[in-house]
Amino acid sequence: MEEEKEYLPIDLTRNKSFRTIEEAIDPLLTPEVRAIMEELRSNTIVSRTLARMRVQAGLSQTEMARNCGFTQPRISGIESATDDKLQLPVIRMYCAILRKPFKAVLADGTKLQVPVPTDYSLPGRRKPGKTGKSGGKPVTA
């Protein structure tokens, strides 16, 4: 016999609109779920930043993959990974392709900065700005 599931009641009489999905589901979240969501947010700061930089540059994941010499699923994996899974060369590649300087502050306060390279082509990779047969968008400054 199938077990009955318990559902939280939703008051549809308010007919309220929400700006974000987070705002809509906020009243339904338990403290445990909130803690898990906050932990996930804090563990994906770098990967979410890489995705935001790519979007702000006007590139799709497919176009970024083409510029990196990766596949689109690999770009998706990078942008959804927890920060502890990201590798520094990949982060630097994103910065180089998107023409952003790489800056980091270590736990001891040491500041690192790698300027945008003037020749940002990478060995074995396509130079950003060139489009292939598919006519993808070039990276522009």
In a domain, 11, yes or no: no
Least confident of 67-76, 86-95, 116-125: 116-125
CATH of residue 78's domain is 1.10.260.40
Q: Which pLDDT does position 80 carry in this prediction?
A: 93
Task: Give the pair of three-digit tokens for residue 122.
Answer: 């990478």
Q: pLDDT class for 140, splitting at 50, 70, 90?
A: very low
pTM of the model: 0.60
**Per-residue model confidence as pLDDT tens digits over 93-125:** 999 999 998 888 888 999 988 887 766 554 444
Structural domain total, the chain: 1
Residue 130 has pLDDT above 50, yes or no: no
What is each CA distance from 138 to 22, 110, 117, 120, in whole angstroms? 34, 35, 17, 14
Closest CA to 98 of 137, 140, 49: 140
Distance, in Å, from the CA atom of 76 to the CA atom of 39, rounded to the nearest integer, reads: 20
Containing domain of residue 31, as a range? 25-141
In a domain, 16, yes or no: no
Contact 114, 101 (CB under 8 A): yes
In a domain, 9, yes or no: no
In a domain, 4, yes or no: no
Q: How many CA atoms lie within 13 A of 6 on its CB side?
A: 0
In a domain, 18, yes or no: no
In a domain, 41, yes or no: yes
Would you call 56 helix, strand, or coil by DSSP?
A: helix
